Amino acid sequence: GGWFADKERSGGGPLIDIGVHAIDLCWYMMGKPKVKSVSGNVYHKLGNRSHVKNYSFYKAADYDASKNTVEDMANALIRFENGASLLVDVSFSLHAKQDEAAIKLFGTNGGFEIDPALVIVTEKNDTILNIEPQVDHKGFNFAAAFQNEINHFIENIKNGTVPIATVDDGVEMMKILNGIYESSEKGVEIQL
């Protein structure tokens, strides 16, 4: 509801709201490889689903169905010049179980899930190992993550240093997001 559902004010739906963070996190963990192409789909089928009873998640006091102009779901395949790829699915509204969120990366030496719980999978002595680190939070700790971002920003200002996430990184993310929207609109893979 509200400005979240209005593309003129929000810029987009779950892709630009949730997807940007998932893509940015994975891209960072992959070593920020150069993007080669993007193929995406954007769907606007379900809307706010304010008719749903017994589940207040879909209720918004200021919801106006005529202003629900953002996508419900977006998915994309992002290809990188180094041969890696990233598959993304994000949604505000699906016919899916609650808390279906997951962020996973897989490589040649191992893989890991960062959300819903941190698990590392690797191989040693011809055996696959599932490693569950002993950490304060089993999954992604949003409060601590945002506080770390604020602290890092303040330290950069105090010390005159360059932040981990640069302006160029932000531009690259916007190229990816715009590429997904353009790919969906044109029905073709977009070369970046």
3-state secondary structure of 60: coil
Structural domains of the chain in order of their starting residue, each with its CATH number = 2-191 (3.30.360.10)
Element housing 113 (H / E): strand 111-115
Question: Quick one: how far is CA 64 from the chain centroid?
Answer: 26
3-state secondary structure of 76: strand
Contact 108, 47 (CB under 8 A): no
3-state secondary structure of 137: coil
Neighbours of 96 (CB within 10 A): 10
pTM: 0.87
Output Rg (C-alpha) for the chain, integer angstroms. 19
Contact 128, 115 (CB under 8 A): no
The per-residue pLDDT for 151 is 97
Peptide bond into 163 cis (omega under 30): no
Q: What is the pLDDT along the chain (192 residues), one digit of tens a residue?
A: 677 788 888 889 999 999 999 999 999 999 999 999 999 999 988 776 777 788 777 666 566 666 788 898 999 999 999 999 999 999 887 877 776 678 899 999 999 888 778 899 999 999 999 999 898 888 888 889 899 999 999 999 999 999 999 999 999 999 999 999 999 999 999 999
The per-residue pLDDT for 22 is 92
3-state secondary structure of 177: helix
141 is written with which tokens? 């700790």
- In the β-sheet with 111-115, what is the strand arrangement from edge to edge? 103-106, 111-115, 119-124, 127-131
Contact 78, 85 (CB under 8 A): yes
